[in-house]
Chains A and B, each alone.
Chain A
Amino acid sequence: MPKRVLVVDDHVPTRALIRTILEAEKGEQFEVKEAGSGTECLKAADRSGPFDLILLDVNLPDMDGYSVCRALRHVDKKVPVVFVTAKGDLKDYTAGREAGGDSYLVKPIARAALRSIVHLFTSIERSRATGAGS
Chain B
Amino acid sequence: MLPASAGPIGHVAILHEDAFQGEALARIFRTAGHRLSVIVPGRRVVQSIVDTAPDLLVGSLSLLDPPLAAVVRGVRQALGSDLRILVLFSYDASVVPAEVDDVFRTDPFDAAELVLRAGRLLREQAEHRVLQKKTQELLGLYKMSWAFSLAGGAEALYAHVARHSAEMLKAGRGLVLLYDAERRQMVGQMPGFGLTPEQVSRVRYSVDGEARSRWNFRRNGPLLSNKAQADTRLLPDLVAALGVRSLLAAPIARGPEILGLLAVGDRANNAHFTDEDLNLLLALAGQVTIAVENLRLHDQIKKANELLQEYDRLKSEFVGIVAHDFRKPLMAIRGFAELVLEEPELPLESRQEFMRTVINESEHLALLANDTLLITQIETGQFSFNFSEIDIGPFILDAVPLGLSDHSVLMDVPPGFPKIWADPERLRQLLTNLVTNAVKYSPEGGSIIVRCRERGGQHVGIEVVDHGLGIPTEQIGRLFQKFARVRSDEHMKISGSGLGLYICRLIVEGHGGQIWVESEFGRGSTFGIVLPVDARAAKKPAGAEERPEAATPEKTKDGPAT
Q: Given A62-B487, A107-B330, A111-B338, are A13 and B492 also a contact pair (CB < 8 Å)?
A: no
Please give, as numbers and ranges, the residues of chain B lying within 8 Å of A36 by CB-CB distance. Answer: 489, 492-493
Chain A residue nearest to B486 (CB atoms) is A61
**Contact yes or no, B335 A17, CB < 8 A:** yes
In the bound complex, what is the Cα–Cα distance between A62 and B329 (angstroms)? 20
**Contact yes or no, B343 A61, CB < 8 A:** no
Q: Given A61-B485, A86-B324, are A13 and B332 also a contact pair (CB < 8 Å)?
A: yes
CB of A24 within 8 A of chain B?
yes
Chain A residue nearest to B491 (CB atoms) is A61
CB of A59 within 8 A of chain B?
yes
Taking a contact as CB atoms closer than 8 A, the residue among B323, B330, B339, B493 that contacts A24 in the complex is: B339
In the bound complex, what is the Cα–Cα distance between A39 and B492 (angstroms)? 12
In the bound complex, what is the Cα–Cα distance between A40 and B491 (angstroms)? 14
Interface residues of A in 17-70 (CB under 8 A from B): 17-18, 20-21, 24, 36-37, 39-40, 59, 61-62
**Contact yes or no, A13 B339, CB < 8 A:** no
CB of B357 within 8 A of chain A?
yes
CB of B213 within 8 A of chain A?
no
Please give, as numbers and ranges, the residues of chain A lying within 8 Å of B336 by CB-CB distance. Answer: 13, 17, 20
CB of B328 within 8 A of chain A?
yes
Q: Indicate with 1 or 0, residue by residue over B248-289, a CB within 8 angstroms of chain A CB atoms.
A: 000000000000000000000000000000000000000000
Taking a contact as CB atoms closer than 8 A, the residue among A11, A18, A107 that contacts B495 in the complex is: A11
Interface residues of A in 102-127 (CB under 8 A from B): 106-111, 114
Please give, as numbers and ranges, the residues of chain B lying within 8 Å of A37 by CB-CB distance. Answer: 489, 492
In the bound complex, what is the Cα–Cα distance between A101 and B483 (angstroms)? 27
How many of chain A's residues touch chain B, expressed as a range?
A: 20 to 34
**Contact yes or no, A109 B339, CB < 8 A:** no
Please give, as numbers and ranges, the residues of chain A lying within 8 Å of B70 by CB-CB distance. Answer: none
Q: Given A10-B492, A86-B324, A87-B324, are A109 and B338 also a contact pair (CB < 8 Å)?
A: no
Taking a contact as CB atoms closer than 8 A, the residue among A10, A62, A86 that contacts B327 in the complex is: A86
In the bound complex, what is the Cα–Cα distance between A89 and B487 (angstroms)? 25
Taking a contact as CB atoms closer than 8 A, the residue among B331, B343, B487 that contacts A108 in the complex is: B331
**Contact yes or no, B495 A12, CB < 8 A:** yes
Taking a contact as CB atoms closer than 8 A, the residue among B332, B343, B354, B485 that contacts A11 in the complex is: B332
**Contact yes or no, B357 A108, CB < 8 A:** no
Chain B residue nearest to A13 (CB atoms) is B332
Q: Indicate with 1 or 0, residue by residue over B424-457, a CB within 8 angstroms of chain A CB atoms.
A: 0000000000000000000000000000000000
Taking a contact as CB atoms closer than 8 A, the residue among A10, A62, A106, A110 that contacts B334 in the complex is: A110
What number of A-B contacts does a CB cutoff of 8 Å give?
80
CB of B408 within 8 A of chain A?
no
CB of B360 within 8 A of chain A?
yes
Taking a contact as CB atoms closer than 8 A, the residue among A11, A59, A111 that contacts B339 in the complex is: A111
Please give, as numbers and ranges, the residues of chain B lying within 8 Å of A95 by CB-CB distance. Answer: none
Q: Indicate with 1 or 0, residue by residue over B313-336, a CB within 8 angstroms of chain A CB atoms.
A: 000000000011101111111111
CB of A14 within 8 A of chain B?
yes
Interface residues of B in 463-489 (CB under 8 A from A): 485, 487, 489
Taking a contact as CB atoms closer than 8 A, the residue among A11, A40, A61, A87 that contacts B487 in the complex is: A61
How many residues of B are in contact with the other chain, CB < 8 A? 29
Interface residues of B in 490-513 (CB under 8 A from A): 491-493, 495
Q: Given A13-B361, A17-B336, A62-B487, are A107 and B492 also a contact pair (CB < 8 Å)?
A: no
Choose among A11, A36, A87 the residue with the greatest number of B CB atoms under 10 Å from its CB: A11
**Contact yes or no, A108 B361, CB < 8 A:** no
Please give, as numbers and ranges, the residues of chain B lying within 8 Å of A10 by CB-CB distance. Answer: 492
Please give, as numbers and ranges, the residues of chain A lying within 8 Å of B342 by CB-CB distance. Answer: 111
**Contact yes or no, B495 A17, CB < 8 A:** no
Please give, as numbers and ranges, the residues of chain B lying within 8 Å of A86 by CB-CB distance. Answer: 323-325, 327-328, 331
A19 to chain B, nearest CB (A): 11
Please give, as numbers and ranges, the residues of chain A lying within 8 Å of B350 by CB-CB distance. Answer: 20
Chain A residue nearest to B332 (CB atoms) is A13
Please give, as numbers and ranges, the residues of chain A lying within 8 Å of B328 by CB-CB distance. Answer: 11, 14, 86, 107
Chain A residue nearest to B335 (CB atoms) is A17
Chain A residue nearest to B327 (CB atoms) is A86
Please give, as numbers and ranges, the residues of chain B lying within 8 Å of A106 by CB-CB distance. Answer: 327
Chain A residue nearest to B485 (CB atoms) is A61
Taking a contact as CB atoms closer than 8 A, the residue among B324, B330, B338, B491 that contacts A59 in the complex is: B324
Please give, as numbers and ranges, the residues of chain A lying within 8 Å of B331 by CB-CB distance. Answer: 11, 14, 17, 86, 107-109
Please give, as numbers and ranges, the residues of chain A lying within 8 Å of B491 by CB-CB distance. Answer: 61
Please give, as numbers and ranges, the residues of chain B lying within 8 Å of A39 by CB-CB distance. Answer: 489
In the bound complex, what is the Cα–Cα distance between A124 and B459 (angstroms)? 68
In the bound complex, what is the Cα–Cα distance between A20 and B329 (angstroms)? 16
In the bound complex, what is the Cα–Cα distance between A77 and B503 (angstroms)? 45
A124 to chain B, nearest CB (A): 24
CB of A16 within 8 A of chain B?
yes
Please give, as numbers and ranges, the residues of chain B lying within 8 Å of A21 by CB-CB distance. Answer: 335, 339
Please give, as numbers and ranges, the residues of chain B lying within 8 Å of A114 by CB-CB distance. Answer: 335
**Contact yes or no, A110 B492, CB < 8 A:** no
Q: Given A17-B332, A62-B487, are A110 and B338 also a contact pair (CB < 8 Å)?
A: yes
In the bound complex, what is the Cα–Cα distance between A120 and B329 (angstroms)? 26
**Contact yes or no, B339 A20, CB < 8 A:** yes
Please give, as numbers and ranges, the residues of chain B lying within 8 Å of A17 by CB-CB distance. Answer: 331-332, 335-336, 339, 357
In the bound complex, what is the Cα–Cα distance between A16 and B328 (angstroms)? 13
**Contact yes or no, B343 A24, CB < 8 A:** yes
Chain B residue nearest to A112 (CB atoms) is B338
Chain B residue nearest to A61 (CB atoms) is B492
Please give, as numbers and ranges, the residues of chain A lying within 8 Å of B325 by CB-CB distance. Answer: 86
9 inter-chain pairs at a CB distance below 8 angstroms, sorted by A residue, are A11-B495, A12-B495, A17-B336, A59-B324, A61-B487, A62-B489, A107-B330, A108-B331, A108-B334
- List 20 additional A-B contacts (Cβ < 8 Å) besides A13-B357, A108-B331, A108-B333: A10-B492, A11-B331, A13-B360, A18-B335, A20-B335, A20-B354, A24-B339, A37-B489, A59-B324, A61-B491, A62-B492, A86-B323, A86-B331, A107-B330, A108-B335, A109-B331, A109-B335, A110-B338, A111-B338, A111-B339
Interface positions of A (Cβ within 8 A of B): 10-14, 16-18, 20-21, 24, 36-37, 39-40, 59, 61-62, 86-88, 106-111, 114
